[in-house]
Structure 1
């Protein structure tokens, strides 16, 4: 069977001749459109910078933890209030109406 509806194996075999045998890094750079990329990092982290970053992260984490604790306490308080009102409503509604 040949022609347009040929087997996928024969299509791959025929296309193999058109492909590049081995791609180099330069070929991929040209393909992507990047000619030269600076990979050297000029910023060096000093101990002072690291201490400042560490302190900033610690304060952010403390604030997030406080917010989580406050949200949890409020959620639990709302649940307790709902339970108390439900119990009181059932207790007083039975005694007053019947």
Structure 2
């Protein structure tokens, strides 16, 4: 008897999971990332639209890479400056003692 109740609750749980996945999928398909741009169905997108999307992504990736390089170089310069200042301070401090 106890086994039947367990299986019924498991079946009910599986049915509820299927329902929630379907509703989440509908909500996801009907929304966009920023709410202003329209959703593009890539199955029906024209080659021109795909080329435009590709170009936009490449431009964004180049800008992100450039920003990463600039930040890395500035970070390394800051580390070198700090090490030089610390080295100069400690070398004078050690020579005086």
TM-score range, shorter chain: 0.5 to 0.7
TM-score between the two structures when normalised by the length of structure 1: 0.56
Q: Which runs of 5+ in 1 are unaligned?
A: 1-6, 35-40
Which has the larger Rg?
1
Number of residue pairs matched by the alignment = 71
Q: Relative to total residues, which structure has the larger helix share, 1 or 2?
A: 2
Distance 1:89 1:65 in 2: 36
Q: Which runs of 5+ in 2 are unaligned?
A: 27-40
TM-score between the two structures when normalised by the length of structure 2: 0.56
Residue 72, structure 1, aligned to residue 72, structure 2: yes
Runs of 4+ in 1 over 6 A off after TM superposition: none
Looking at both structures, which has the greater relative contact order when contacts are Cα pairs under 8 Å and sequence separation is at least 6?
A: 2
Residue of structure 1 equivalent to 2:83 = 83
Residue 9, structure 1, aligned to residue 3, structure 2: yes
